[in-house]
């Protein structure tokens, strides 16, 4: 008997940027979406946009690195929207610095959100997917996983998510659950705008310089990532698992 796919998705870090675009796209695909961010209030704008477009969404507040809050958040989603069948681990922060200037807190904060957060969220959600015999896990990595000056913490976290993804694919495949990662290149978000400010460039000049190095001659948008997440969350991607999809406008390495 073919399992009936759950139509509930959780997107972490969905208040803005890539997470918000993914949440909106999954809602347009027919999923009820839990917009998870640090506080419930942070996700209200994304929820309002989904509601205005005729979709269904709720805002959920949780620190993804706190196991108690993660368990409570997933239980809340299951109660309000139904058992989650799609999880997009997008929550992330940067604490960029050269290695000799990087503090213990800089390192730990990035690992807490990216790696610990993805682990805790996935562990909490996978039981619902296994029970249903269907699930889609999409982790947000980055081209920085290949190495990037000033981002030892971020690069290590994003590379770690790639190994995490491949292991999930091996462990959960027999239960009808796939796991894949998207590794964006330069995407125009608040995070890259903050990087521009840190290096003393205007956002426009920073993006123009980046686009000149990209084969398609433009920077990416959050919607570019949302399109790929939509596919990986679909039934059409049932034979795609354990893959790292670089969405960077050209070869990533």
Q: The tokens 């999930």 sit on which residue?
A: 168
Whether 222 contacts 232, CB under 8 Å? no
| Residues whose CB is less than 8 angstroms from the CB of residue 21 and which lie 6 or more positions away in sequence, other chains included | 221, 222, 223, 225, 226
- Beta strand 32-37 with 86-89 is unpaired
Residues identified as active-site: 154
Q: The tokens 């000799």 sit on which residue?
A: 100
Residue 76's CB is within 10 A of a number of other CB atoms, namely 17
- Using only the alpha carbons of the chain, give its radius of gyration: 17
Question: And the tokens for 143?
Answer: 């081209």
Give, as one character, the DSSP assignment of residue 123.
H
**DSSP H/E element including 48:** helix 44-52
Q: How far apart are CA 27 and CA 159, in angstroms?
A: 29
Q: The tokens 């433009």 sit on which residue?
A: 218
Q: How far apart are CA 234 and CA 244, in angstroms?
A: 16
For Cα atoms 135, 234, 12, give the angle at the middle one, nearest 5 degrees. 65
| Residues whose CB is less than 8 angstroms from the CB of residue 219 and which lie 6 or more positions away in sequence, other chains included | 186, 187, 188, 192, 207, 210, 211, 249
């Amino acid at each position: 008997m073919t399992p009936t796919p759950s139509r509930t998705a959780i997107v972490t870090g969905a208040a803005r940027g890539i997470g918000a675009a993914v949440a909106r796209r999954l809602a347009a695909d027919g999923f009820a979406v839990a917009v998870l961010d640090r506080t419930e209030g942070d996700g209200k704008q994304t929820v309002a946009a989904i509601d205005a477009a005729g979709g269904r969404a709720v805002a959920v507040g949780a620190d993804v690195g706190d196991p108690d809050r993660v368990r409570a958040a997933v239980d809340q989603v299951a109660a309000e929207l139904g058992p989650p069948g799609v999880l997009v681990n997008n929550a992330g922060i940067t604490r960029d610095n050269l290695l000799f200037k990087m503090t213990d807190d800089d390192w730990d904060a990035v690992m807490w959100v990216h790696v610990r957060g993805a682990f805790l969220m996935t562990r909490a959600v996978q039981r619902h997917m296994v029970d249903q015999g269907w699930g889609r896990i999409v982790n947000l990595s980055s081209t920085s996983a290949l190495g990037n000056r000033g981002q030892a913490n971020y690069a290590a976290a994003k590379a770690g998510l790639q190994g995490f993804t491949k292991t999930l694919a091996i462990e959960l495949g027999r239960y009808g659950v796939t796991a894949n990662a998207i590794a964006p290149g330069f995407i125009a978000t608040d995070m890259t705008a903050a990087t521009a400010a840190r290096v003393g460039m205007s956002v426009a000049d920073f993006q123009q310089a980046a686009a000149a190095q990209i084969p398609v001659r433009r920077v990416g948008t959050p919607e570019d990532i949302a399109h790929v997440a939509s596919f990986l969350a679909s039934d059409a991607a049932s034979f795609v698992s354990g893959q790292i999809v670089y969405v960077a406008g050209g070869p990533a390495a």
